[in-house]
Amino acid sequence: MTHSKPLFDHERLDVYRVAIEFVAWSGELIDGPLRGCHLSAVSQLDRASTSVALNIAEGNGKRTPRDRCRFIDSARGSAFECASALDVLVARRVLTKEQVVAGKSLLHRDVGMLSKISVSLSDHEEDVYHPR
């Protein structure tokens, strides 16, 4: 990021920074070896990678644990979608397994963090009083 100090809370989150790192990594792939490839997995990879970062940021801006959890779960689902899109591109022999290792590693880190956040938010919600 070009700022010396984050302007928004989500920019301080490791999970967000890893998501942005994946967006940059996948963008280099899309603009490089995947340029001109018209498989739907390429556009899905582009959309889903963006969705991970956007959902993390939007979820961080929500006030209730339930709302935050919903966006974090969406981000997690989009990360799995990215991993699957990479698998499809390998299966279609557009990319090699070696070409996707770095990206899948970033996704694995993000999914782990997102899973922990989701569990934490779910645990917190159980502590909130819900009148019947």
Q: Look up the pTM and report it.
A: 0.88
Give the CATH class of 10-125.
mainly alpha
> Could you state, in order of their start, the residue ranges of all structural domains in the chain?
10-125
Average pLDDT of 79-91? 98
7-35: per-residue pLDDT in tens? 899 999 999 999 999 999 999 999 999 99
Output the DSSP codes for the chain: ---SS-SSGGGG-HHHHHHHHHHHHHHHHHHTTTTT---HHHHHHHHHHHHHHHHHHHHHT-SSHHHHHHHHHHHHHHHHHHHHHHHHHHHTTSS-HHHHHHHHHHHHHHHHHHHHHHHHHHHHHHHS----
